[in-house]
Amino acid sequence: MSRYDYDLFVIGAGSGGVRAARVAAGCGAEVAIAEEHRVGGTCVIRGCVPKKLLAYAAHFHEDFEDARAYGWSVDNARFDWPTLIASKDKEIDRLNGIYKRLLSESGVALIEARAVLADPHTIEIAGKRITADTILISTGARPVLPDEPGFDLGITSNEAFYLSDLPRRVVVAGGGYIACEFAGIFNGLGAEVTQLYRGEQILRGFDDDVRDTVAAEMRKKGIDIRVRTIIARTEKTAAGLAVTLSDGSCLDADAVMHAIGRRPNTANMGLKESGVDCGADDAVIVNEYSQSCVPNVYAVGDCTNRLNLTPVAIREGHAFADTVFGKNPTAVDHHTVPHAVFSQPPVGVVGLTEAAARLIHGAVDIYRTSFRPLKHTLSGRDEKTMMKLVVDRASQRVVGAHMVGLDAPEIIQTLAIAVKMGATKQQFDQTVAIHPTAAEEFVTLRTPLPEPEKKAAE
């Protein structure tokens, strides 16, 4: 008989924690999981899923406009924010119920309360102490807040999903994927949007052609993107909010959204007191098997700040359970992971950027195209799709694929298989195109771009 209450105790019932708990239970372990908010975590409750539902809603105004060129008359179309939020809430409630049912059917005990570590084998929760042989931390991350005067008058992505009304004027602070996605959502639903970013160009870390294309297309849609600019202070006024910027100018707004980053949600959990090492960013430091410096304490997902994507957290959770309870040591490969930005237009990416490929491989061949999608030859909309392949010249392997445009995430998901398998440019060329599609461009690109001119030494 075990000297512990449970074989595994999971703190955090997001996608990674739920997967780990269910797989471990399937291996015969006695498992409990704690969640202080709603089961499903950031992605299901206040992230990927509700955000994409809002992104769908934001795109309809263009669909209505474009339909006229195809013979459709869409008269008196109007948008109602409360209806959208109610529909979104209904779907999130449904998913929350599914996650709870999956845990129950797997034999995992769910405790809906905050849990903290008392020591490496003891959890304090709801005034009780529970012991476990193995503990898994899967508490995700939370939005970072700035420290300028009046920052508390703003909201984050968490609150954006529950606004009672659609703000007419929105200032979005940040240049990452969350900032770009919400700028597109608010703009598409009819708000006047200004997006601020301290750097030279939005979407830092993405390929430069992706960054430039997204910024250009967002500006075409009416989003006022201001780079090298941040908020200096925010003040409440009779008409809403007055936002003073770092360049001295002032904006009137009804809402200010802070999307300047996320930080591992590990504070005040007893980790340090229990001997678990965390980095300067509060991330739990783990090895390739998600094991911390305390042998029986593991961590997966955004709280480790490795690659903060829901499918990666799920894979890490599954690998942890396979390693510890399935007796099948499994390390997660964090390389060549496809990802998307559900901006307007969306982005799909897998593999290396051009800059990274040049650093790693030296000589590379770049294939790139930009064109108006067939859909817009009738609608007349001035929107471009950009596609790009990055090829290691020596081996001719395609080491990066990048797309901005309609259906980019759907197209890149399938293309990621080829890139992950090490497909060559010749194999891409030998693949017959499906015509007429945008995706066919990835297998019909034939002429590499000229080598960029080297800058003269200063």
In the chain, domain spans = 6-142+263-324, 151-260, 345-444
Residue 76's pLDDT band, with cuts at 50, 70 and 90, is confident
pLDDT of residue 80: 96
Q: What is the pLDDT of residues 89-113, one digit of tens each?
A: 999 999 999 999 999 999 999 999 9
Range 6-142+263-324: architecture per CATH: 3-Layer(bba) Sandwich (3.50)
* Same fold flag, 6-142+263-324 and 151-260: yes
Distance CA 34, CA 123 (A): 10
Between 330 and 1, name the one with better pLDDT.
330
Contact 317, 16 (CB under 8 A): yes
Distance CA 103, CA 136 (A): 16
Q: DSSP assignment of 24-67, as one string? A: HHHTT--EEEE-SS-TTHHHHHHSHHHHHHHHHHHHHHHHHHHH
Between 139 and 455, name the one with better pLDDT.
139
449 pLDDT higher than 60: yes
pLDDT of residue 74: 86
Q: Tell which residue, 384, 395, 62, 424, has the closest CA to residue 209.
A: 384
Contact 365, 428 (CB under 8 A): no
Distance CA 138, CA 444 (A): 43
Q: What is the pLDDT of residues 418-441, one digit of tens each?
A: 999 999 999 999 999 999 999 999
Task: State yes or no: is 435 an active-site residue.
Answer: yes
Q: Within 10 A of 446 (CB to CB), how many other CB atoms are there? A: 8
pTM, two decimal places: 0.95
Q: What is the pLDDT of residues 316-359, one digit of tens each?
A: 999 999 999 999 999 999 999 999 999 999 999 999 999 999 99
**Which CATH superfamily hosts domain 151-260?**
FAD/NAD(P)-binding domain (3.50.50.60)
For the record, the structure tokens of 299 come out as: 């961590």
Residue 1's pLDDT band, with cuts at 50, 70 and 90, is very low
Active-site option among 37, 318, 335, 435 = 435
Q: At what angle do helices 81-105 and 15-26 cross, to 10 degrees?
A: 20
Range 345-444: architecture per CATH: 2-Layer Sandwich (3.30)
Q: At what angle do helices 81-105 and 48-67 cross, to 10 degrees?
A: 140
